[in-house]
Chains A and B, each alone.
Chain A
Amino acid sequence: MTAIVERPLPLHRRIPLFRLVAAIAGGISLIPMLVLLACFFLLPLLYMVRMSLLPDRALAMVAALLEPLSLHQYATLLVDGFFYEMVANSLRVGGTTVVIALAAAYPVAWYLIRVAGSWERTLVSAACMLPLFVNLVVTVFGWNVLLLPFGALQKLLSALGWVDGPIYWARTFWGLSIVLAYETVPFAILILAASIQTIRVDKLNAARILGAGNMRIFLTIVVPLTMPGIVASAILVFSLAISSYLIPTLIAGTKVVVLPLEIFSYITEFLDWPAASAMAILLLVLVFALTWVFTMVAGRLSRRGKWVMV
């Protein structure tokens, strides 16, 4: 005969107090993250806003918090023609980068989904994800070797007899946009691949049976269905492109002055924190405003697509 042994309840069941302690411990576990975010994210941003409201950079080092508020920095920036030129440059660079990066990423993402699970997928994605796994200086060094006058590309083209003499691609708008697109293309591929994955093959087959050509299927089915992915990747690539300062510093130098470049030189060369802060906040506002507008517009545009797809 086997005796039925009564097992005692586990400790946390027997004593209700233990459960309470466990619940409190759960709440406490959130504290490190909250402290981290409050002390080193929220507080610095608020302090930067306060800094941008100082009239003079000499005040930044002393008791900045007690000074009266002043809109001097913003007033100076917003009447400055050079500031608008920088904003225009940043927007143009950002827009061009988005177009190049998405045009390159969309077909690649599509291909990667088609060959899912194979070694080919692994190797192709390894090449495309390279900028994520290697620090920026590595790839930018390579691009400088390629693009500078008498660099690798010019030597190749000269050997083929296509160009004669030095080419000046590195210090130009297009050189900058191409390198920015190179650095941001992995993000676009990842987001687009996630979005393309959700398209069901039945829908494409149905359209084909009904006689639609490739172009028509792409424009009326694939694009509307992947619109959220296109919008998300465009927003991400755009904000990465217009907030990067290392690539403009190393590739374009002072030939294409974008906003982060100017912020960076106000920090390191002029040590003018109030002006740098004001510019940084305007950049932040610009990024958020454009993200919002873009999401709205895309929502409007894809509404028709949604109705068609129901």
Chain B
Amino acid sequence: MIGALRLFTYLIVAIMLLPIVVTGMIAFTSVDTVVFPPPGYSLKWVGGVLSDDHLRIAILRSLGLAVLAAVLAITVGLPCCFLVERVLHRGRVTAETVITAPRMVPEIVFVLALLIFFEKIRIAETLTGLLISHLLICAPFAFRTLAASVSALDRRLEWSSDILGATPTRRFLLVVMPQMKTALISALVFAFILSFNNVTMALLLSAVGERTLPVEMFTRMHVGGMNPVVPAISLMLALIGGILFIVLDRTVGAFSHLSGRA
């Protein structure tokens, strides 16, 4: 029974890795076109990712946007967690539903609504608009991850510190924050990943000259300008993503974190 289960699981693992494996093979091609299997192997495309100007700028733009969106998502989300978990008793479920509502609307519907609204208030195709759209994806997610951790806090430690005369600021920084360390790290990292990988929002809301990395890749694939630099950057992203997950799983327990609050 367990043997059959293991066999099936490894079959699925193989299928999950298959697209990355063929991408990786093309990334090491020696020719200038995307062909499978590559006629010869070389390191020129993988080594040349950062010398592609458009790609490099797109990577930096995506990184900056994702860091900003993740930090803002935590800043906006964390106070709400305390309020919802501790102050609101009756309206808790309602408040949680309202805050996580953007995640329930299909992406294409949400992005269209944002597009026509941004056109109306004239922030379409600006980085501000793009940042707001990414924040709308990250903030509800950060809220959910952090809210679970706030409700799991040991209140007795806070009462003790209160009795011992700590001010609210000290209590927050020295008693509450250390308990929430893992939740904060995983919320930050997952919010970053959500923003960094988002194609849907960025495709319609970013300006032509200010593409994020996924949009740049999409454009090269779908519109034109395809060369083996796309599989090369894909392979790197896949490796970084895989390593990031493994590190997170061994340190803060990424899988259990995600499966508790998916």
Query: Chain A residues in contact with chain B, CB under 8 A?
Result: 7, 9-12, 22, 26-27, 29-30, 32-33, 36-37, 40-41, 43-45, 47-48, 51, 60, 64, 104, 107-108, 110-112, 114, 121-146, 151-152, 155, 182, 185, 187, 189-191, 193-194, 197, 214, 239, 242-246, 249-250, 260, 263-264, 267-268, 273, 276-277, 280-281, 283-284, 287
- Do residues B108 and A138 form an inter-chain contact, with CB atoms below 8 A? no
- Do residues B16 and A128 form an inter-chain contact, with CB atoms below 8 A? yes
Known: A137-B199, A155-B36. 13 other contacts (CB 8 A): A41-B102, A44-B114, A44-B117, A47-B116, A111-B6, A125-B249, A126-B242, A135-B214, A141-B23, A190-B255, A190-B259, A284-B105, A284-B106
Contacts of B168 in A (CB 8 A): 12, 22
- Do residues B221 and A146 form an inter-chain contact, with CB atoms below 8 A? no
Chain A interface helix/strand/loop/mixed: helix
- Do residues B9 and A47 form an inter-chain contact, with CB atoms below 8 A? no
- Do residues A130 and B16 form an inter-chain contact, with CB atoms below 8 A? yes
Q: Name the one of B9, B101, B115, B249 contacting A126, with C-beta atoms under 8 angstroms.
A: B249
Contacts of B101 in A (CB 8 A): 37, 41
- Do residues A146 and B108 form an inter-chain contact, with CB atoms below 8 A? no
Query: Chain B residues in contact with chain A, CB under 8 A?
Result: 1-2, 5-6, 8-10, 12-13, 15-23, 26, 34, 36-37, 75-77, 79-80, 82-83, 87, 98-99, 101-102, 104-109, 112-117, 120, 132-133, 135-136, 139, 143, 165-168, 193, 196-200, 203-204, 213-214, 217-218, 221-222, 230-231, 234, 237-238, 241-242, 244-246, 249-250, 254-255, 258-260, 262
CA distance A214 to B133 in the complex (A): 48
Contacts of A60 in B (CB 8 A): 116
Contacts of A276 in B (CB 8 A): 112
CA distance A110 to B144 in the complex (A): 25
Q: Name the one of A142, A190, A244, A284 contacting B22, with C-beta atoms under 8 angstroms.
A: A142
CA distance A43 to B241 in the complex (A): 35
CB distance from A104 to the nearest CB of B (A): 5
- Do residues B83 and A29 form an inter-chain contact, with CB atoms below 8 A? yes
Pairs A–B under 8 Å by Cβ, sample size 27: A10-B166, A26-B83, A29-B79, A33-B143, A41-B136, A48-B113, A111-B8, A112-B9, A122-B255, A124-B9, A124-B13, A125-B249, A125-B255, A126-B246, A127-B13, A133-B244, A135-B199, A140-B19, A141-B231, A142-B23, A190-B255, A243-B106, A245-B108, A267-B115, A277-B112, A281-B109, A283-B106
